[in-house]
Structure 1
Amino acid sequence: MKKQPDIHLNLNVRGLPLSATLAINEISNDLIKQGQPVTKLGLGQSPFPVPQVVEEELKVNAHQKDYLPVAGLRELRGAVADYHHRTHGISTAPENILIGPGSKELMFILQLVYYGDLVIPTPSWVSYAPQAHIIGRHIHWLETDASNQWKVTPECIEELCHKDENKPRLVILNYPANPHGYTYTEKELKALAKKFRKYKVLVLSDEIYSELDYDGNHVSIAQFYPEGTIISSGLSKWCGAGGWRLGTFAFPNNMKWLLNAMATVASETFTSTSAPIQYAAVRAFIGGLEIERYLANSRRILHAIAKAIVSRLQNAGFDLVMPDGAFYIFPDFAPFKKKLNQRGITSSSKLCEVILKETGVAMLPGESFGRPKDELTVRIAFVDFDGARALTAAEQIPLDQTLGEEFAKQYGGGCISGVEKIIDWLNETQAE
């Protein structure tokens, strides 16, 4: 009998689980298929529909079938460059824009071509570290604190870099941030920019949630450190088009070499991003009255639901500050640790497992975002509501009016009821 060849798995991949956000979505969907009610607060998928003007553009361009340039459609690269200048005051050119099938893919290729340590705050999005692990990069976690809204400080950058000033490093900043929704002030960004410039750190500014800053006042660190910052964005969060898979990188003029290196890898991997979606994305980045109104109402809705959730958690005994944007809340169950430990709940993973089993509410453990296993933090993605219905209702209310508690209760869907289930479960646990 012919001997079968040995099949070996790359050691960097062996043992890595499915991405936590995608895994919880699949688990939730399987439970629903089995007839179990599930409140889906795990996967951070935008609840809002794609703006109608952008959807119509996709229909018009469904016939587009040619391979497009590796770096992206020229018109789209121009629209993205104009977008950054119009919205954030960042001067860039179409030649400095790279289009990819989702910003996640572009982040992976960046780590592949740039030889340097990956530096990320804890907590941070679930895929930054695994990508570095797959490629074989060294990962350095920046410790942050809930009392400072989990923000990176100039002091921790100084502590990291002063021992080896010339070491190449890639720092990822994400704001408003997944998993907690907090952002940076202009003053904080200026202070960080000084440290990054001092040590010539490469910064990937993941601004995928920038348009969902509740006040609409997002500031990019590229304004203060343009020569060392790459801005990451895309359609998934602010345009409700996660499944379309379109991401963008904006490079400074002095980093053409890095863009070109990434384009080379792209040419040998994904070739080019879907043509119809690139043509439709031009309309999204051009903006206009329809899209501005869509964004203004999206922000109002998310702000109202976040406020309703935070007030409930605060009243239940959580030490929690209102987020600044996006659709995430990152509470810590530490005030209830003693009773939870008595039930054998000593990790965030176990906490989420038990809550899903006993309440039907799906969340993600802080452990998935780089927090210690015994810390009882969880991420709530408050996206389980009918975004189209909420937008229609918000359209009837003048933009200068705040959407309040009643709106959140009426249109917040499973987000409000799911958090109330968690609080009820917690009260029962504490009473035992």
Structure 2
Amino acid sequence: MFDGYLRTVETSQTLLLNEQSRQLETSGTEVFKFGFGQSPFPPLPAAVEALRAHAAAKDYTPVQGLPELRERVAEFHRAAEGIDVGAEQVLIAPGSKLLLYAVMAAFQRADVLIPAPAWVSYAPQAKLLGHAAIRVATDVERRWRVTPAALEQTLAAKADGAVPSVLVLNHPGNPDGLSYSADELQALAIVLRRHRVLVISDEIYGLLNHAGAHVSLARHYPEATIVTGGLSKWCGAGGWRLGIALLPRSLGDSFKHTLLGIASETYSCAPLPVQRAAIAAYQWNAETQDYLAHQRRLLATLGTWCADELRASGLRIHAPEGGFYLFPDFTPHAAALHRAGITSAQQLCARLLGDTGVALLPGDAFGLPSQQLCARLAYVEFDGAAALQASREIGLQRRLSADEQALLFAKTQRGIHQLKRWLAAFQ
């Protein structure tokens, strides 16, 4: 009855693909769920115990979050990543997605700069708020990284230079699993500072840097970098919905008050039991560091194996540096795929899913042209609890053997072999 008056909002392709995969599974087809990026690991045990202990807690909390939790978060990121932040600069929300939206919503008008490729929700959020979503071009040869030259070119081409610019930068990245070096961030900071760009640095995968060497942009551009994160990736607790934002002091109280005003009129606060669980999680102690070290070892081992196997099949692909994603470029197979009627990333993924049960997310979901034959692969199709236990029994002193990998990552390896056989059939 209201057709013609409603906003056009596409369903998140990540969630849609997950539902399609579930439906295919119910028909008896083995599905390799490489399209949905959810941590395979169980939450930190201390956090689970705290959640259980506070399950009956039901009160509203301060909009900004529990003071004790904000202090813990600040201490945690100071110790783990060297970010200069105090409790008064920490915001807590039911997921970092809402914090990204709140920062964009703080502006009456803004140009939101988003790399191509980048996570699927950044551009829809900007458009929902009436902002211009402007893509910053990257390419596989430059490891899908935003370069100072590309950023400079994008800023110079803006229609109205007086409109504030907000860059959303995600590293380690979704969909590519790649990060930025300190030198790369320093070079970007020079351009950002010259143009007075506010940056939302989505560092949700930072603690899953495979080398444990994540460098925050806030170390190089502290005056205008808002860091977002949460429990979903490093702590395996996506469904708990606990996000954090670290605000720079230089933004002042007015910006924070605007964010708190938006929060108070939308989500009110994060759930109290989950905030209590987060207090237990955000402790930079031996238990947490060991938990992270084994996750990193497992993800690095499997991600590198997947990248090597797919590269051997002729795909253009970079070994991951963090998180659990790969972003293969199928362009070297374009001629053969075109002969089979596959001319877009959507067709590529649909055909692959139907023929093999391998579920990938097409590159156009991340802002690339539909004809660019790229797709995201999330290598999380394994039992994270069993893998963590085995990794601890083996110890960090040696690498996982090929036999151990084949046992722990059997389904992921089987899915990669399916993908390779499918590609070979087109040759």
Query: Aligning the two structures, in what range does the TM-score lie when normalised by the shorter sequence?
Result: over 0.9
Q: Deviations over 1:45-98 (max 9, x none)?
A: 000000111101111111211000111111111111111111111111111111
Distance 2:100 2:401 in 1: 37
Unaligned runs of 5+ in 1: 1-5
User: What is the CA–CA distance in structure 1 between the aligned matches of 2:72 and 2:4, rounded to whole Å?
Assistant: 42
Structure 2 residue aligned with 1:143 = 137
Matched letter for residue 80 of structure 1:
V
Q: Does 1:83 align with 2:80?
A: no
**Aligned alpha-carbon RMSD (Å):** 1.3
Report what 1:3 is aligned to.
none
Do the aligned residues in 2 keep the contact of 1:385 with 1:415 (CA within 8 Å)? yes
Determine the structure 2 residue equivalent to 1:297. 294
1:198 aligns with 2:194: yes
TM-score (normalizing by structure 2)? 0.96
Equivalent AA in structure 1 for residue 150 of structure 2: C
Q: Is the 8 A contact 2:361 2:377 kept in 1?
A: yes
In the alignment, the residues of structure 1 paired with residue 100 and residue 49 of structure 2 have an alpha-carbon distance, to the nearest angstrom, of: 29
Q: In 1, Cα distance between the equivalents of 2:131 and 2:11?
A: 19
- Which of 174, 182, 185 in structure 2 is aligned with 1:186? 182
Of 234, 240, 244, which residue of structure 2 is paired with 1:238? 234
Identify the match of residue 356 of structure 2 among 356, 359, 366. 359
For 1:6-155, list aligned pairs within 5 A: 6-8=1-3, 11=6, 13-14=7-8, 16-114=9-107, 115-155=109-149
Query: Which one of 329, 332, 342 corresponds to residue 345 of structure 1?
Result: 342
What is the count of residue pairs matched by the alignment?
Answer: 423
Give yes or no for contact 2:63–2:260 (8 Å, CA) kept in 1. yes
Worse overlay, 195-204 or 164-173: 164-173
Give, in angstroms, the shift of residue 320 of structure 1: 2.0
The residue identity in structure 2 corresponding to 1:271 is S
Identity %, equivalent residues: 42
Q: Distance in 1 between matches of 2:384 and 2:324?
A: 12
Amino acid at match of 2:400: L
Partner SS state of residue 322, structure 1: coil
Structure 2 partner of 1:217: 213
CA distance in 2, matches of 1:160, 1:60: 50
Q: What is the CA–CA distance in structure 1 between the aligned matches of 2:403 and 2:92, rounded to whole Å?
A: 41
CA–CA distance in structure 2, aligned partners of residues 122 and 144 of structure 1: 6
| Aligned-pair CA distance for 1:404 | 4.6
The aligned residue for residue 270 of structure 1 is 267
1:397-430: per-residue Cα shift (whole Å, max 9, x none)?
2223233543332211322111110110111122
TM-superposed CA distance for 1:374, in Å, is 0.5
Contact 2:360–2:376 under 8 Å retained in 1: yes
2:283 is matched with 286
Conserved? CA contact 1:304–1:404, under 8 Å? no
- Give distance in 2, aligned partners of 1:101 and 1:28: 27
Aligned-pair distance for 1:34?
Answer: 2.6
Q: Secondary structure at the match of 1:286?
A: coil
TM-score under structure 1 length normalisation: 0.95
* CA displacement 1:173-220 (0-9 Å, x = unmatched): 101100011100001111111111111100011000001111000000
Q: Write the distance in 2 (CA, Å) between the matches of 1:88 and 1:281.
A: 18
What are structure 2's unaligned runs of at least 5 residues?
none
Q: 1:415 to 1:25 in 2, by over 3 A?
A: same
Residue 130 of structure 1 aligns to which amino acid in structure 2?
A: P
Alignment match, 2:151: 157
Q: Which residue identity does 1:175 align to in structure 2? A: H
Amino acid at match of 2:142: N
Tell me whether 273-282 or 91-100 shows the greater mean CA deviation. 91-100
Cα distance between partner residues in 1 of 2:3 and 2:349: 34
